[in-house]
Amino acid sequence: MSESLIISTVSKKEKYEELLPQIESLIDSEDDLIAKMAIVAAALRQTFNFFWAGFYRVKGKELVLSPFQGDIACLRIGFAKGVCGTAWKERKTIIVPNVDEFPGHIACSNLSKSEIVIPVFCGDKIIAVLDIDSDSLNSFDETDRRYLEKIVSLI
Ligand code: SME
């Protein structure tokens, strides 16, 4: 059996289970938020080959582009705008199976087809969001939500 065939049989859950302790040990002794975001974005992209994975930090009334992996993206997103601004406003993870059906979706790339956005909490306050885009429809589900919420809680 070729290596790629073996890899393809590993479930999403198994990949997250393997990734979680790796991320934990990578950022364990680091206190710099940007460095931690950078390593998380890279680890997610490397593991799942996501089309785009990165953070937007809350700055005043906007989200500002922060460490990411993927194509160039919009620099700032307003409160309640797009999927990211909506996740910030609603203080919860948003899964978008088809970005064309999300009113107000901000298209940084027309190759992006589905998306998940997870708020990053510091206590009760949202300090950032993690945004992941896929170039396929329906890429994200409850497994992604559960593990990605755990991952952002580590930073
Ligand atoms: N699609 C996002 C914008 C950010 S990019 O996808 C990287 C949104 O609607 O908020």
15-60 pLDDT tens trace? 999 999 999 999 998 999 999 999 999 999 999 999 999 999 999 9
Model confidence pLDDT, tens digit, residues 86-100: 999 999 999 999 999
Task: Confirm whether pTM is higher than 0.85.
Answer: yes
User: Shortest CA distance to 116 belongs to which of 86, 79, 77?
Assistant: 86
Instruction: Compute the residue count for the chain.
Output: 155
Domain 12-154 has CATH 3.10.20.600: no
Q: Where are the domains of the chain?
A: 12-154
Cβ–Cβ < 8 Å for 84, 56: yes
Instruction: Give the three-class secondary structure for 66.
Output: strand
The Cα 119–Cα 56 span in angstroms is 10
State the average pLDDT for the chain: 94
The Cα 67–Cα 137 span in angstroms is 24
| Residue of minimum CA distance from atom 6 in ligand 1 | 108
| Residue of minimum CA distance from atom 2 in ligand 1 | 106
How many Å lie between the centroid of ligand 1 and the Cα of residue 5?
32
How many Å lie between the centroid of ligand 1 and the Cα of residue 82?
6
How many Å lie between the centroid of ligand 1 and the Cα of residue 29?
31
The confidence band for 6, taking pLDDT boundaries of 50, 70 and 90, is low
